[in-house]
Amino acid sequence: MTGTLRDDVSDDEPQDRPDEATESGPGLPPPSATESLVGALLEAGPEVAEHVVRAAQELLLAAQAIVDAAERAVQEQQATRAQAQAEADLPDEASGDDATVHHLDLAE
C-alpha cells in the first residue's frame, strides 16, 4: 500500500505532519526501557499493572528468603568453625575424646 488513503490528497501536496527526516531542530530522544514499560502498563489497564506489581513483590520476597537462608548458612559455618577452633586450642585431656588423627613424622 504505497498510495494515500484519501483521494483528494495527491503525492505532490505537502502533508499536515512533517516527516521525521525533514523536521527542523532536535526531536525527543527515543523512550528508555523504563519509560516504555510504564507506558505499556498504563495502556494495558490497572488490572495488568496490579498483577505486575504483585508479581514483583513475590519475586522480592523470594529473593529475601534466599538471602536470609544464605545468611543463616554462613552464620552456622562461622559458629562451627569457631567451635572447632576452640576445641583445637584445648589440650587433648580436656577435650574428653581420643584423637583419631595423629601427626605423621616424615623423618621416621
Is 70 exceeded by the pLDDT of residue 13?
no
Residue 78, in any domain of the structure: yes
Task: Assess if residue 104 is contained within a domain.
Answer: no
Residue 64 has pLDDT above 70, yes or no: yes
Q: Distance between CA 22 and CA 28 in Å, rounded?
A: 14
Model pLDDT, residue 106? 75
**Residue 96 covered by a domain:** no
Residue 82 within a domain: yes
Q: What is the pLDDT of residue 25?
A: 54
Find cell 505486575 and name the residue.
52
Which residue range is the domain that position 71 belongs to?
Answer: 43-88
Decide if 57 is inside a domain. yes
Mean pLDDT value across the chain: 77
The most distant pair of C-alpha atoms in the chain lies apart, rounded to whole Å, by: 109
In a domain, 5, yes or no: no
- Short-list 85, 81, 62, CA closest to 73: 81
* Structure-model confidence comparison of residues 81 and 9, the more confident one: 81
Residue 27 falls inside a structural domain:
no
Q: For 41-47, what is the mean pLDDT? A: 85
Q: What's the total number of domains in the chain? A: 1
Please check the confidence at residue 27 and state whether its pLDDT lies above 80: yes
Distance CA 61, CA 81 (A): 30
Beta-carbon contacts of 9 under 8 Å, excluding residues fewer than 6 positions away, are 15
In a domain, 3, yes or no: no
